[in-house]
Amino acid sequence: MTTGNRWRPAYVALGSNLDDPGARIVEAFGHLCRLPGCRLIAQSRCWRSTPLGPVEQPPFVNAVAGLLTVLSPADLLGSLQDIEATMGRARPIVRWGPRRIDLDLLLLGSEQLVGPGLTLPHPGLPVRDFVLYPLADIAPELWVPGLGRVRHLAAGVDNRGLVALGG
Which one of the listed residues 19, 45, 75, 104 is annotated catalytic?
Answer: 104
Contacts of residue 46, defined as CB under 8 A and 6 or more positions apart, other chains included, come to 22, 25, 61, 62, 63, 134, 164, 165, 166
Summarize pLDDT for 3-40 with one digit per residue, the tens. Answer: 567 999 999 999 999 999 999 999 999 999 999 999 99
Is 6 among the catalytic positions? no
Which residues on adjacent β-strands are paired with residue 14?
Answer: 63, 103
Is 89 among the catalytic positions? yes
Q: Are strands 47-49 and 119-120 parallel, antiparallel or unpaired?
A: unpaired
Supply the pTM of this predicted model: 0.94
In 3D space, the residue among 145, 1, 15 whose CA is nearest the CA of residue 73 turns out to be: 1
pLDDT for res 144: 97
CATH superfamily of 8-164: 7,8-Dihydro-6-hydroxymethylpterin-pyrophosphokinase HPPK (3.30.70.560)
Average of per-residue pLDDT across 108-126: 94
Summarize pLDDT for 72-115 with one digit per residue, the tens. Answer: 999 999 999 999 999 998 765 677 788 999 999 999 999 999 98
Which one of the listed residues 99, 100, 129, 137 is annotated catalytic?
Answer: 99
Q: Side-chain half-sphere of 110: how many Cα atoms within 13 Å?
A: 3
Which one of the listed residues 8, 24, 89, 128 is annotated catalytic?
Answer: 89
Which one of the listed residues 102, 128, 129, 137 is annotated catalytic?
Answer: 102
Is 99 among the catalytic positions? yes
pLDDT for res 91: 65
pLDDT for res 53: 76
Q: Side-chain half-sphere of 23: how many Cα atoms within 13 Å?
A: 4
Q: In percent, how much of the chain has pLDDT > 70?
A: 95
Question: How is the chain split into domains, by residue range?
Answer: 8-164
Q: Residue 44: pLDDT above 80? A: yes
Is 129 among the catalytic positions? no
Q: Residue 2: pLDDT above 60? A: no
CB-based burial label for 65 (10 Å; 0-12, 13-18, 19+)? buried
